[in-house]
Amino acid sequence: RKEVEQDPGPFNVPEGATVAFNCTYSNSASQSFFWYRQDCRKEPKLLMSVYSSGNEDGRFTAQLNRASQYISLLIRDSKLSDSATYLCVVNKKAAGNKLTFGGGTRVLVKP
Amino acid sequence: EPEVTQTPSHQVTQMGQEVILRCVPISNHLYFYWYRQILGQKVEFLVSFYNNEISEKSEIFDDQFSVERPDGSNFTLKIRSTKLEDSAMYFCASSDRTAGDYEQYFGPGTRLTVT
């Protein structure tokens, strides 16, 4: 089983709509969770950290379910500029602070 | 806003040659990392570095790879004898333990092409 699994998509989303997708992780020792955004051939950019209580940043809401080992991201009122690949990332916070990336979920927002 | 910078943006080299990829992490960060992404694949961890030594390295980071912080600002990745399969995007990242959950910030990457 892959350490971090994501539906690759693409999720085709009408502008203004809401889209949500999940990510599952296999290592229960994982301690920190993040969503990064990656545009084509660009670097991953931190979108938000994911906390146990769930957190919101503007139109973006992240949830963490430790019991089921999944993380979700919801995007409300989608903008054309939200088109990107969303990377689910976990960190075991071991000595090296290594990030483990999922393969990404591609989102295409269309007018 | 502080950012991680990397040079060069694109490096073309012949198989067997040595390359050095350079990074300038965010100035007050203490933890440094290299990741790579082969075209069409996921981002993979290579190595983490703290207090002038390697904290963790992946299986990819074999004897052909080395890292160094030659001065107070630069962080380098050296590949001694490049192989075709080293062709990838190499990202440097840095973090500060006081920034939330050690959130890592990535540079724009160096595209390495080995011919």
Question: Is the confidence at residue A71, as pLDDT, over 80?
Answer: yes
- pLDDT tens for each residue of A11-52: 999 999 999 999 999 987 778 899 999 999 899 999 999 988
* Whether B102 and A94 lie within 8 Å, measured CB to CB: no
Residues of A whose CB is below 8 A from B103: 34, 46, 49
Give dist(CA B72, CA B3) in Å, integer.
16
Nearest one of B86, B91, B22 to B60, comparing CA atoms: B86
* Whether B55 and A96 lie within 8 Å, measured CB to CB: yes
Give dist(CA A71, CA A23) in Å, integer.
5
* Whether A31 and B101 lie within 8 Å, measured CB to CB: yes
Give dist(CA A13, CA A75) in Å, integer.
10
Q: Band the pLDDT of A76: cuts 50, 70, 90.
A: very high
* Whether A101 contacts chain B with CB within 8 A: yes
B103, B95 contact by CB (below 8 A): yes
Q: Name which of B55, B102, B109 is nearest A43 (Cβ-Cβ).
A: B109
SS3 A17: coil
Give dist(CA A103, CA A26) in Å, integer.
14
Give dist(CA B20, CA B77) in Å, integer.
6
Q: What's the pLDDT score for residue B102? A: 77
* Whether B59 contacts chain A with CB within 8 A: no
Shortest distance, CA B81 to any CA of chain A (angstroms)? 25
Rounded to 5°, angle at Cα A97 from A91 and A100:
40
- pLDDT tens for each residue of B3-56: 999 999 999 999 999 999 999 999 989 899 999 999 999 999 999 999 899 999
